[in-house]
Amino acid sequence: MKAPYIKITPPGPKAKNYLKLDQKYISSGSGVKLLPIVPEYGEGSTITDVDGNVFIDFLSGAGAAVTGYSHPILVKAVQDQVSKIQHSMLGYTYNIQAITLAQRLAEMSPGKQNKKIAFGLSGSDAVDIALKMARFSTKKSWVITFIGAYHGQTYGSASLSQFQGSLKKDMGPFVSNIVAVPYPDPYRNPWGIDGYKYPDKLTEATINYVENYILGHVVPRDDVAMILAEPIQGDGGTLIPPSNFFKELKKICDKYGILLAIDEVQTGIGRTGTWFGIEHFGVEPDIMILGKGLASGMGLSAVIAHKDIADTTNGSLIFTPAANPIVSSAAIATLDIIEKEKLLANSQEVGSLLLKRFMKLLDKYAIVGDVRGKGLMIALDIVKDKKTKEPDREMTGKICWRAFEMGLILPSIGFYGNCLRIVPPLVLTKDLAEIGADIIEQAIKDAISGKVKKATSTWS
C-alpha cells in the first residue's frame, strides 16, 4: 500500500456526508472528533478513508490497534472463533478462551505468583474493577490519584480522572473519598523543579507531598485503599516520571498498607517497548489494569492482581460480554503476533528512531518546547515560549490539520491540549516512520509560516 496517498482533498465528499450523519445521530458525548477521518479499511499502519485517501496512522485508535489493521493472524483468529461459538458468559458458564488468556496474563505480568484476572470491556470499567478490588480487599475507602490522570468515563473511573474538568460538567456527584496529588512531570510541575536535571529532587518533592501533606493531614492515613497511577501519563501528555519515582511510591504504599494500582490501559501490551510500562521502573504493582491494545482494540480489558486482592464477592465484577470467546481469541492472537513478530523490539527501535528525529526539532523550532517518549509513545509539547513553557493549543491544532492534509493521522492530546501525540501501531515500519516524521516537520514549518488556515479541535 503506497502511503500516504491523497486522491482528493480530505475530508472528501463521502467523508463529509458521514461527518454530517455523525453529527446528527451520534451523541456529542461520544467524542470531540479531533480529526475528520472516516476509515473504510486499514492495512498495517495505514488507513484508507471512504474517498480512497490513504493515511499513515500515528494514532492507532488512541493506542489500541497495536497489531495494526487486517493482520492475517488476528483476522483468522476472530473468523475461526466466531464460526465456533461467539459467546459464553463468564458469570454463568465457562469460557475456554478467557481461561487460556487469564493464565497467559497471570504468567507474563510482573509480580508474585497466584495472580487472578477479572475482565471488562474497556479501560474505564477495568478501572472500576480495580477500585472495587482495592476497597473490598483492604476494607479501606480512600484513593489517591494524580493530577493529569485519565482513567475513563464510567462514574468510578471518571471520578478517579483528574483531566479536563469540563468532562465532569453537570454530571456530579462523583464517587467520593478520592484525593488528587501532583504527578512528577519533569517538564512542568508545581515546584518549578527541572525534573530532567534533578529527577531525585522531583521524586522527593512528590513523595513528600503525598506522605507529609496528604497522608499526614488530609486523609485518614489508615483508611487509604490504593494509590492509582499511570506509569507514564498518557492523555496527560506522555509524561515520564523520574526513574526512581515508583520505587519510592511503593515504599510509601508498603509503609501504610496501601495497594499500588498501575493503570496500563495505554502503556501496556508493548506500547513503550516492554510488555508493561511499569517495567521501566522496576516495581511490581499490586494491581495492574489493561485495556486498549489487549485485544488490538476490540473491546477487552483486564485487571490482574494477587488472588487475595482479585477475589471479591461472587458476581460483583461481571459484565455480560466481557472476555467473550471472540475478543479473548483476539487477545491471544495479539500476544502471539507481538511475540512472533518481535514487536517489542520494533516498538523500541522505531520509537527511538522517531525520538531522535524529534529531538532535532527541539533546537530548530522555537515552538517545540519538549520532546519525550518511550517506545512508540511519544509527544512533542508545543509552546508559545520556550522559557515560560506556555502551551500553544492553536498552533498544535494547525500542525495536526496540516499533517492531516498531507496524509498523516496526527492527533493532539495533553493536560493543556498542546501536545502532538504519536502512538502508532507497533507494526509501524521504519520507512513509514521516516515519512511520518518528515510530514510532522513540514507541518510545523507551514504552521509557523502562517500557511495553515484551519486547525483540528484540541482537548480543552
The residue range among 180-188, 260-268, 328-336, 343-351 that interacts with ligand PMP, by the rule CB under 6 A, is: 260-268
Q: How far is the CB of 89 from ligand PMP (least distance, A)?
A: 21
Residue 279 DSSP one-character state: G
Per CB under 6 A, does 263 bind ligand PMP?
yes
In whole angstroms, give the CA distance from residue 49 to residue 35.
Answer: 12
Contacts of 107 (CB under 8 A, 6+ apart): none
Per CB under 6 A, does 266 bind ligand PMP?
yes
| x-marked contacts with ligand PMP along 404-443 as a string, rule CB under 6 A | ----------------------------------------
Q: How far is the CB of 176 from ligand PMP (least distance, A)?
A: 20
Residue nearest to ligand PMP (CB): 123
Q: Which of residues 359-398 bind ligand PMP (CB under 6 A)?
A: none
Per CB under 6 A, does 60 bind ligand PMP?
no
**Residue that is written with C-alpha cell 495505514 in the block:** 46
In whole angstroms, give the CA distance from residue 388 to residue 316.
Answer: 49
224-229 and 142-146 as β-strands: parallel, antiparallel, unpaired? parallel
**Residue that is written with C-alpha cell 517497548 in the block:** 273
Q: How far is the CB of 410 from ligand PMP (least distance, A)?
A: 17
Per CB under 6 A, does 272 bind ligand PMP?
no
Residue 315, all three cell numbers: 458476581
Q: Which of 49, 204, 230, 381 lies at the binding interface for ligand PMP (CB under 6 A)?
A: 230
| Whether the Cβ atoms of residue 425 and residue 65 lie closer than 8 Å to each other | yes
In whole angstroms, give the CA distance from residue 50 to residue 301.
Answer: 30
DSSP string, 148-174: T----SSHHHHHH--S-GGGGTT----
Compare residues 127 and 327 and give the one whose CB is closer to ligand PMP: 127
Per CB under 6 A, does 276 bind ligand PMP?
no
Per CB under 6 A, does 235 bind ligand PMP?
yes
The b-or-e profile of 303-339 (16+ CB within 10 A means b, else e) is: bbbbeebbeeeeeebebebbbbbbbbbbbbbbbebbe
Q: Which of residues 132-191 bind ligand PMP (CB under 6 A)?
A: 150-152
| x-marked contacts with ligand PMP along 336-355 as a string, rule CB under 6 A | --------------------
| Whether the Cβ atoms of residue 428 and residue 60 lie closer than 8 Å to each other | no
| Whether the Cβ atoms of residue 410 and residue 420 lie closer than 8 Å to each other | yes
Per CB under 6 A, does 62 bind ligand PMP?
yes
Per CB under 6 A, does 61 bind ligand PMP?
no
Per CB under 6 A, does 123 bind ligand PMP?
yes
Per CB under 6 A, does 265 bind ligand PMP?
yes
Binding site for ligand PMP (CB under 6 A): 62, 122-124, 127, 150-152, 230, 234-235, 263, 265-266, 291-292
